[in-house]
Amino acid sequence: GNSVTQMEGPVTLSEEAFLTINCTYTATGYPSLFWYVQYPGEGLQLLLKATKADDKGSNKGFEATYRKETTSFHLEKGSVQVSDSAVYFCALNQGGKLIFGQGTELSVKP
């Protein structure tokens, strides 16, 4: 079946550091891919998405490119802020429902 694997957390960075959170997937066909973010005490918010190979999703300085050849959708940000501290979930769309990765906690220190 379809699945999503993320790098283990927690990830701790200093402010303005470069961020990469790895995500790989196993799927039949070419599902849409997503990154969700969960800030402390809040729900899951869609951060960005890509619907086909080579698409790049971007939002709030975060980017991820749909790589069919490596079945990956790594999340990157050039300069993180303390306010980016949250849990990040990679997910794919399987017929209207989401298959999530296990989440990666990011902690950004000033």
62, 86, 89, 106: residue in contact with another protein (rule CB under 8 A):
89
Contact 90, 99 (CB under 8 A): no
CA 10/CA 88 separation, integer angstroms = 10
Tell me how far, at minimum, the Cβ of 1 lies from another protein, in Å: 11
Query: Tokens 């989401």 appear where?
Result: 98
Distances in whole angstroms, Cα of residue 92 to Cα of each of 36, 66, 82: 11, 11, 27
Q: Which of residues 12 and 51 has its CB atom nearest to another protein in the complex?
A: 51
1 binds another protein (CB under 8 A): no
Window 46-65: contact mask with another protein (x via CB under 8 A): x--x-x--------------
Tell me how far, at minimum, the Cβ of 71 lies from another protein, in Å: 18
Tell me how far, at minimum, the Cβ of 17 lies from another protein, in Å: 25
43, 69, 70, 110: residue in contact with another protein (rule CB under 8 A):
43
